[in-house]
Amino acid sequence: MGDSSLSTSTADHPVYVVGGGPAGLSVAYALRARGIRAVVLEKSEHVGASWRRHYDRLHLHTTRRLSALPGLPMPRRFGRWVSRDDVVRYLEKYAEHHELETVTGVEVSRIERTPDGSGWLLHATGGRELTGAAVVVATGWNHTPLLPDWPGREEYKGELRHAGEYRNPEPYAGRDVLVVGVGNTGAEIAVDLVEGGAARVRLSVRTAPHIVRRSTAGWAAQYTGVLVRRLPVGLVDRLARPLAKLSVPDLSAHGLPRPDTGLYSRAKAGAIPVQDVGLIDAIRKGRIEVVAAVEGFEGDEVLLADGTRITPEAVIAATGYARSLEGLVGGLDVLDGRGGPVVNGARAPKNAAGLYFSGFVTPISGTFREVAMDAERIAKAVEKAAKAAEKGGGSRLSRLPV
């Protein structure tokens, strides 16, 4: 897809985009559309690596029309809720259609300022040192599986896997399975296990989630997310309460009470509402049993917060992912207390001009939609900063031939 050379022998420097997922590819296109050379560095052998690793039944929880990246609609044949495999096909086609310059099999281990302070130096696979006029970090949320350091975990005699290793329910047919975590991943895996023939499925919940219908009478939950995106958090919280009572039944009798914090407040803190893909019905029918949070392990037993001890045959931990940005940019003072970037999108950190982050938010309006909009904003910011630097005699930005 274009020239994959990583030569830095000229005075002009490209913009390096670290990560070949939706965020990285859309930024590369937006930069290319402005005539700016962008090189996508992807550590795996293909673009869309994180999507290739997701479980088989996964579909976007956002609509096809509002999930397309800049410059290429998603085909109608993908349907309203796009499958994992079709997302992968779309990302491959996106890179090909826009002739993006992607280099796979190259992992960036550290980013730092160039000695003269005019650009960025990337340390990459094989001892490469690449110099960029700007850098966009788009390694994404689903980077490194995070397994809590539960007491007794290392000595646990049962089967324990992170949700990142889960593909389909076939290996769990006829078995007793505990799913830990009730985010969208945990909820959907639990439903998948029930539908795939697991003998018993329990769902360990620490904090009751907000649950929303993916679509009501044809109106996608995402549409509401788009409408309220810029409204005050408190107002959205108040509006959401009566709507939740109308659309989602009270599951308190089944061990899942309504949450005691606001929907948008929780979303702003990173806990996106769970989209119902069968969870409500499965809980009401007793096919998914809600149990307390996991506190630890002992022998072949799982210890729960309410003092209960259970012995499932398999435990699937849907406990999220670490950003793993510390090694990459940890020395630049651009990360917050939770390990995420202090800013996302077109704003660069105050002490790191020319360094951008994309895809590190989980908005209720949809991640694909958000990264698509951020791509345009980042490209505009890069071009503006580059023009200012060139006027001042700084390092030039690599331009594509007209």
> Can you tell me the distance from the alpha carbon of 225 to that of 211, in angstroms, rounded to the nearest whole number?
14
Q: Is the pTM above the cut of 0.85?
A: yes
Mean pLDDT of 103-111: 96
Q: Is residue 11 over pLDDT 80?
A: no
Q: Which CATH superfamily is domain 145-317 in?
A: FAD/NAD(P)-binding domain (3.50.50.60)
User: What is the model's pLDDT at position 382?
Assistant: 95
Q: Is residue 2 over pLDDT 50?
A: no
User: What is the model's pLDDT at position 18?
Assistant: 97
Least confident of 17-21, 32-36, 209-213, 320-324: 320-324
116-139, pLDDT tens digit by residue?
888 999 999 999 999 999 999 999
User: What is the model's pLDDT at position 8?
Assistant: 39
User: What is the model's pLDDT at position 183?
Assistant: 93
Strand order in the sheet with 301-304: 294-298, 301-304, 309-310
269-299, pLDDT tens digit by residue?
888 899 999 999 999 999 999 999 999 999 9
Phi, psi of 384 (to 5 degrees): -65, -45
User: What is the model's pLDDT at position 135?
Assistant: 97
Equal fold, 12-143+323-397 vs 145-317: yes
Q: Is residue 397 over pLDDT 80?
A: no
User: What is the model's pLDDT at position 118?
Assistant: 83
* Cβ contact 179:202 at 8 Å: yes
Q: Is 41 helix (H, G, I), strand (E, B) or coil?
A: strand
User: What is the model's pLDDT at position 395?
Assistant: 56
Instruction: Write the CATH number of the domain with boundaries 12-143+323-397.
Output: 3.50.50.60
User: What is the model's pLDDT at position 5?
Assistant: 45
Helices 367-391 and 22-33, interaxial angle, to 10°?
40
The domain locations on the chain are: 12-143+323-397, 145-317
62-87, pLDDT tens digit by residue?
999 999 999 999 999 999 999 999 99
Q: Is residue 373 over pLDDT 70?
A: yes
H helix intervals, 248-399? 263-268, 279-284, 326-329, 367-391
**What is the pLDDT of the chain when averaged over all its residues?**
92
User: What is the model's pLDDT at position 393?
Assistant: 60
